[in-house]
């Protein structure tokens, strides 16, 4: 009785058979869900990275510039187009309200993406893959991607960053 | 509604600055103002009237109420005048006017004082033996859990908003964005856990008031509340699953809510509340088959309907999506997509709000001593609201899985250097979401009219014959039987588990075909 004190001996009442079975079932499922997260690190191919460096917006900007200079092959919509060597480091900057640079990648190669923001938080949202990460200023987030499909991809921002937030869109092309 | 009509590109109602302003206000009003005010009232009710006890310090209660109102007014003022376009989360380094942070601090301190008063009330009641010698009634015990969680919520709130306030005044140089997010969610998500505990307390109350149902084993129900106390606030860590810095072991440990202790607690309540209803009904003689008891429930009583539908919505939509979103790797799929609002339409809106709306129907005759006006409308409200919220949530969740971001004024990326179109099927799900939103909006409007008309212009309740919502008598005592006490509930929970496992498997399947990342 929810608004009265429980009856005498409530603490020693036996748990009904069906309630006990349900609790067992729920416990097993909860443990299984826990196990999947750990196992996925061993056998799964999609795990959020844990490599991160402290940086500052100035320092990160300089590092990115140096990297882009090495691999730049053109310009599109005022944004440098960069084609990094397969299995190398890639720098991506999110800033209000643009993603830089445009990237050309090779399918099946591994790239160490260094992603950081120069100002506010930004949401790194790769479409149409729908993979989402959060980017902070002052932290160099290293995500090692291996593109498994070719095609035209977009990088959109899905963390609110002011009135121009909706126009923040970048481009990644994956070639064979 | 304004937010939805803007996001739907076909109408695209509001200009960009007003969209984010209304969205900020929407989050604050729905998640904080409405829910917390209601909960504070619930705490005072649960610690005085239910315990047959006195209010220790009424003047303190009024003072805290004034603080909360002033806090709300400050926040609303800064948001509407455009000096706090920071959305509900106000992530640093996005900066708002100092008055905005001050408003939130005032509101939180006011709420903290009410919680203190709740503790004082039950201590005095215990001393004066107003409710007998035994332990606290289950309803108040649940609220006690909510209050303890509330303290654990408001303290991180103070810890993060005070430095952010000083930073906004210019007294501190910077606030680290990761620390901000970590501590903010210690406040932001824990606040929702308070709602869960309060909502479930009301489920138990509702089962008792409407059909005379009692938890089939109070020890189990109470231990489940205890699990919340231990595990649930750690759940807040799931907001940082795709952030840099926290390590995988930290993420796995915390988001498993210490091995899903809190999830387990919710699943226990999911059995305990319906089985309380089922056993009460079976004792009345509705023993045929698995579901005869359910068929003969008081479906004409809107408070019962609200509790029932909110259990279904909270479990099937809120619970399922919540547990999956909280898994370290699967979070990558939906993080910051519109599936997140889709999830909390199932928890806070379809669960907590619907429960509170239904419970309000009992408050009108019992506290305001008024009959419920427009009773037919009042009866339709829970059905309509539930239908709207389910449709809205299904629409938003599907859009999120297709990649549509939340908090976004223009998903055609107007003014951007490139274009992108979401899959064509999203057009259809926008319609689903807007239709659902419109139904839910009309239901809320109808509910507000019912409550306002009843409280201010209603006819007084003179006695038992004027009560439209009957208070259930206590069903006859149990005749001894062995085996399953609530086979119908058992069947329903198994159906739930199957649905949950199917959706979980789908998510991991989708994840496994993405680009590889580590």
pLDDT digits (tens, 9 = 90+) for B22-49: 888 888 887 777 888 888 888 888 888 7
Closest Cα in chain A to B217: A15
Between A166 and B233, whose confidence is greater? A166
Q: What is the pLDDT of residues B281-299, one digit of tens each?
A: 998 888 888 899 999 999 9
pLDDT reported for residue B258: 62
Closest Cα in chain B to A50: B247
Q: How far is CA B193 from CA B105, B151, B161, B405, in A?
A: 20, 12, 20, 25
Check: CB of residue B242 under 8 Å from CB of residue B329.
no
pLDDT reported for residue A132: 93
User: For chain B, what percent of residues have pLDDT higher than 90?
Assistant: 24
**What are the residue ranges of helices labelled H in B212-326?**
218-231, 248-255, 257-283, 292-295, 302-313, 320-325
The A residues from 3 to 62 touching B (CB cutoff 8 Å) are 3-6, 8, 10-11, 13, 15-19, 21-23, 25-27, 29-31, 33-34, 36-38, 40-41, 44-50, 52
Distance, in Å, from the CA atom of B49 to the CA atom of A162, rounded to the nearest integer, reads 48
Q: How far is CA B208 from CA A1, B196, B355, in A?
A: 6, 19, 14
Does the beta carbon of A131 lie under 8 angstroms from any beta carbon of chain B?
yes
What does the mean pLDDT of chain B come to? 85
pLDDT reported for residue B399: 93
Does the beta carbon of A126 lie under 8 angstroms from any beta carbon of chain B?
yes
Per-residue pLDDT for B1 more than 70?
A: no
Inspect the interface and report whether the beta carbons of A13 and B219 lie closer than 8 Å.
yes
Per-residue pLDDT for B256 more than 70?
A: no
Nearest to B336 among A22, A52, A123 (CB): A123
In the block, tokens 């709306």 appear at: B357
- How many pairs of residues across A and B have Cβ atoms under 8 Å apart? 304
Distance, in Å, from the CA atom of A126 to the CA atom of A147, rounded to the nearest integer, reads 11
In the block, tokens 């659902």 appear at: B436
pLDDT bracket for residue B257 (50, 70, 90): low
pLDDT reported for residue B410: 85
**What are the residue ranges of helices labelled H in B81-217?**
98-127, 138-169, 177-211
Per-residue pLDDT for B10 more than 70?
A: no
Using CA atoms in the order B111, B30, B137, B386, what is the torsion angle rounded to 10 degrees?
180
- Min mean pLDDT across A46-55, B105-114, B180-189 is at B180-189
Helices H / strands E in chain B, number of each: 19, 1
Per-residue pLDDT for B482 more than 70?
A: no
Chain A residues closer than 8 Å to B85 by CB? 162-163
Q: What is the pLDDT of residues B162-179, one digit of tens each?
A: 888 888 888 887 888 888
∠ at Cα B284 (B282, B287), nearest 5°? 35
Chain A residues closer than 8 Å to B267 by CB? 22-23, 26, 30
pLDDT reported for residue A125: 94
Q: What is the pLDDT of residues B85-98, one digit of tens each?
A: 777 777 777 778 88
Order of strands, sheet of A72-76, starting from the edge strand that comes earlier in the sequence: A72-76, A79-82, A102-106, A169-175, A151-157, A122-127, A131-135
Buried b / exposed e across B446-478, counting CB within 10 Å, b at 16+? Answer: bbeebbebbbeebeebeeeeeebbeebeebeee
Distance, in Å, from the CA atom of B411 to the CA atom of A167, rounded to the nearest integer, reads 9
Which burial class, exposed, middle or buried, applies to A77 when counting CB atoms under 10 A from its CB (0-12, 13-18, 19+)? exposed
Check: CB of residue B226 under 8 Å from CB of residue A123.
no
Chain A residues closer than 8 Å to B504 by CB? 33
User: What does the DSSP assignment read for B449-497?
Assistant: HHHHHHHHHPPBP-SGGG-SSPPPPPPPPPPP--S-S-HHHHHHHHHHH
Residue A91 in tokens:
């720098």
Terminal-to-terminal C-alpha distance of chain A: 68
Prediction ipTM score: 0.90
Per-residue pLDDT for A19 more than 70?
A: yes
Inspect the interface and report whether the beta carbons of A16 and B484 lie closer than 8 Å.
yes
Distance, in Å, from the CA atom of B486 to the CA atom of A176, rounded to the nearest integer, reads 59
Inspect the interface and report whether the beta carbons of B16 and A145 lie closer than 8 Å.
no
pLDDT reported for residue A127: 92
Pairing of strands A72-76, A79-82: antiparallel
pLDDT reported for residue B155: 81
pLDDT bracket for residue B180 (50, 70, 90): confident
Q: What pTM was computed for the model? A: 0.90
User: For chain A, what percent of residues have pLDDT higher than 90?
Assistant: 63
In the block, tokens 């907001």 appear at: B239
Residue B49 in tokens:
């009237």
**Mean pLDDT on A5-33:** 84
Does the beta carbon of A161 lie under 8 angstroms from any beta carbon of chain B?
yes
**Mean pLDDT on B203-209:** 90
Distance, in Å, from the CA atom of B176 to the CA atom of A80, rounded to the nearest integer, reads 30
Residue B282 in tokens:
């079976």
Q: What is the pLDDT of residues B410-460, one digit of tens each?
A: 888 888 899 999 999 999 999 999 999 999 999 989 999 999 999 888 888
Closest Cα in chain B to A22: B490
Distance, in Å, from the CA atom of B431 to the CA atom of B413, rounded to the nearest integer, reads 20
pLDDT bracket for residue B193 (50, 70, 90): confident
For residue B264, say if its preceding peptide bond is cis, omega within 30 degrees of 0.
no
Closest Cα in chain A to B511: A46
Per-residue pLDDT for B481 more than 70?
A: no
**Mean pLDDT on B245-250:** 80
pLDDT reported for residue A113: 95
Per-residue pLDDT for B61 more than 70?
A: yes
The radius of gyration of chain B from alpha carbons, rounded to an integer in Å, stands at 23
What does the mean pLDDT of chain A come to? 90
**Mean pLDDT on A121-138:** 92
**Mean pLDDT on A23-41:** 88
Does the beta carbon of B248 lie under 8 angstroms from any beta carbon of chain A?
yes
Highest mean predicted confidence (pLDDT) among A143-152, B69-78, B464-473 = A143-152
- Min mean pLDDT across A70-74, B232-236, B317-321, B359-363 is at B232-236
Residue B52 in tokens:
């047959």
Q: Is the dihedral of CA B75, B78, B79, B85 positive or negative?
A: negative
CA nearest to A164, candidates B263, B354, B247, B17: B17
Q: What is the pLDDT of residues B219-244, one digit of tens each?
A: 888 888 888 888 777 777 778 887 88
Pairing of strands A151-157, A139-146: unpaired
Q: How far is CA B78 from CA B2, B36, B71, B101, in A?
A: 19, 20, 11, 10
């Amino acid at each position: 009785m929810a608004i009265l004190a429980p009856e005498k001996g409530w603490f020693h009442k036996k748990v009904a058979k069906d309630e006990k079975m349900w609790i067992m079932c729920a416990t097993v499922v909860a443990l299984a869900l826990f196990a999947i997260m750990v196992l996925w690190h061993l056998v799964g191919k999609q795990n959020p990275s844990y490599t991160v460096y402290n940086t500052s917006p100035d320092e990160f900007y300089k590092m990115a510039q140096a990297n882009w200079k090495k691999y730049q092959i053109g310009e599109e919509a005022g944004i440098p187009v960069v084609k990094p060597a397969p299995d190398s480091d890639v720098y991506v900057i999110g800033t209000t309200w643009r993603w830089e640079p445009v990237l050309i990648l090779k399918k099946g190669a591994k790239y160490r993406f260094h992603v950081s923001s120069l100002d506010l938080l930004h949401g790194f949202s790769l479409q149409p893959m729908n993979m989402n990460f959060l980017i902070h200023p002052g932290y160099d987030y290293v995500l090692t991607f291996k593109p498994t499909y070719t095609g035209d991809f977009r990088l959109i921002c899905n963390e609110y960053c002011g009135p121009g937030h909706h126009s923040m869109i970048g481009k990644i092309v994956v070639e064979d | 509604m304004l937010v939805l009509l803007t996001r739907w590109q076909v109408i695209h109602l509001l200009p960009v600055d007003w969209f984010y302003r209304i969205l900020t206000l929407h989050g604050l009003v729905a998640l904080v103002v409405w829910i917390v005010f209601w909960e504070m009232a619930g705490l005072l009710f649960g610690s005085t009237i239910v315990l047959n006890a006195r209010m220790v310090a009424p003047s303190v209660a009024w003072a805290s109420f004034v603080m909360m109102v002033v806090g709300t007014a400050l926040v609303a003022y800064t948001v509407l005048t455009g000096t706090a376009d920071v959305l509900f989360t106000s992530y640093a380094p996005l900066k708002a006017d100092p008055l905005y942070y001050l408003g939130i601090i005032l509101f939180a301190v006011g709420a903290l004082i009410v919680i203190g008063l709740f503790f004082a009330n039950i201590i005095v009641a215990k001393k004066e033996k107003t409710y007998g010698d035994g332990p606290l009634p289950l309803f108040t015990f649940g609220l006690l859990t909510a209050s303890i969680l509330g303290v654990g919520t408001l303290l991180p709130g103070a810890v993060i908003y005070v430095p952010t306030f000083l930073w906004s005044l210019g007294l501190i140089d910077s606030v680290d964005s990761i620390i901000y997010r970590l501590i903010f969610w210690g406040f932001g998500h824990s606040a929702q856990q308070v709602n869960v505990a309060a909502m479930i307390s009301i489920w138990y109350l509702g089962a008792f008031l409407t059909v005379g149902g009692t938890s089939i084993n109070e020890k189990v129900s109470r231990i489940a509340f205890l699990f919340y106390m231990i595990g649930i606030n750690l759940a807040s860590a799931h907001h940082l699953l795709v952030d840099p810095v926290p390590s995988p072991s930290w993420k796995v440990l915390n988001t498993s809510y210490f091995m899903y202790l809190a999830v387990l607690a919710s699943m226990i309540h999911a059995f305990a509340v319906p089985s309380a209803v089922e056993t009460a009904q079976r004792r009345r003689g509705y023993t045929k088959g698995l579901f005869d008891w359910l068929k003969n429930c008081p479906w004409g009583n809107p408070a019962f309907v609200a509790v029932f539908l909110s259990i279904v919505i909270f479990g099937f939509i809120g619970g399922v999506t919540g547990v999956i979103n909280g898994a370290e790797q699967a979070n990558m799929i939906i993080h910051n997509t519109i599936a997140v609002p889709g999830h909390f339409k199932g928890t806070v809106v379809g669960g907590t709000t619907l429960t509170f709306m239904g419970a309000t129907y009992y408050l009108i005759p019992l506290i305001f001593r008024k009959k419920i006006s427009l009773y037919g409308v009042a009866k339709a409200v829970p059905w309509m609201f539930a239908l709207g919220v389910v449709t809205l949530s299904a629409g938003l969740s599907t859009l999120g899985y297709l990649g549509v971001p939340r908090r976004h004024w223009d998903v055609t990326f107007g003014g951007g250097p490139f274009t992108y179109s979401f899959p064509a099927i999203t057009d259809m799900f926008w319609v689903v979401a807007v239709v659902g939103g419109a139904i839910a909006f009309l239901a809320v409007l109808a509910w507000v009219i019912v409550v306002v008309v009843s409280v201010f212009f209603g006819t007084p309740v003179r006695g038992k014959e004027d009560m439209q919502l009957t208070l259930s008598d206590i069903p006859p005592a149990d005749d001894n039987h062995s085996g399953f006490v609530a086979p119908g509930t058992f069947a329903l929970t198994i159906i739930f588990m199957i649905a949950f496992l199917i959706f979980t498997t789908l998510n991991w399947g989708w994840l496994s075909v993405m680009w590889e990342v580590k």
